[in-house]
Structure 1
């Protein structure tokens, strides 16, 4: 079980983590929460209906990581549309973003919070580690958060496709990106083994 998720009888998954791994995942999840920002409830008036019908932003985020987490819905990064088609795509993406981004942010926020809370509930043993056991619902939240963390790190590393990942494997140890690359690859392994628990 060390380093990878295994299925639990009756559903869910478990993984053994040492105290350093717990600290790294927790820190990354907290950073993701800070990046996503507080929910609309933090600034909303006392009227709960106002929050329910609040519109989100219509423009893509300026931060490249947030653009990766909340991409435009109607644009194809590999296509080169004409001016009229590009304008239509921007208008459709803007409208879609206005009505969906708040919910998407809330979902990503809940997933990251679930990761932090489950790690905070762990009792680290005398050997400096613990076994994290997740229910099926918590496993899905962890899967979403791991995906978001990898997207965020991948964006900071300018990873666009598999060829970029291959280049990262060959980085020298003194490259300042190396720790981030190692975290990216390690989270990928966790994500892959967690996905496999859903298939059994």
Structure 2
């Protein structure tokens, strides 16, 4: 995700029923690239669809009943290995593996679809700027998609940079410019500022 040059800070401002920001072409390209990578990661790691419900078993056949019960209990979803996905879909019950797995089974597909839908909406708004030739304009009714996507991007970058608290973030802020992590930390801070100004503009 390396990208040359600094990332400038752009402020979102309220204008009527929209929130507007002027972005440089490289900022639009960088943000669109990050959002597309997020969509690809979420789509590529989507769990397989649940199997159809088993057919009714013959009540007089105990083996058929056992088979039906086994089929009714699908494989339990496991916590993902990718630290980004772990951050985007945190373990709801870290001390109860079964409860955590059940929570993932019943909620993760819907949560994943919601994140992808929000990210795609952000991409549409960015595409409408024609590579920064026009300001990005976000209707107030669609600001939530931006807030969620910016937050998901920050969580993703934090996972890659291993930011776990304010102390580790501060250490990264002291990195020299030639450290490859310095640029991504700058993007992380820029996303935080964008989130803040977006909220304050409402």
TM-score, normalising length: structure 2 = 0.78
Moved over 4 A (4+): none
Q: How many residues are treated as equivalent by the alignment?
A: 172
Shift of residue 16 of structure 1? 0.6
Tell me if structure 2 keeps the 8 A contact 1:56–1:100.
no
TM-score using structure 1 length: 0.78
CA contact (8 A) 1:39 1:106 kept: no
Q: Aligned pair 1:21/2:8, yes or no?
A: no
Instruction: Find out whether 1:62 has 2:99 as its counterpart.
Output: no
Corresponding residue number in structure 1 for 2:100: 93
Which residue number corresponds to residue 137 of structure 1? 141
User: How far apart, CA to CA, are the structure 2 residues paired with 1:39 and 1:171?
Assistant: 32
Contact 1:115 1:145 in 2 (8 A): yes
Q: CA RMSD in A?
A: 2.4
Aligned residue for 2:16?
Answer: 9
Counterpart selection for 1:155 from 152, 155, 159: 159
Match of 2:196 in 1: 192
Q: Does the alignment pair 1:31 with 2:37?
A: yes
List runs of 5+ in structure 2 lacking aligned partners: 1-8, 53-73
Larger Cα-atom Rg: 2
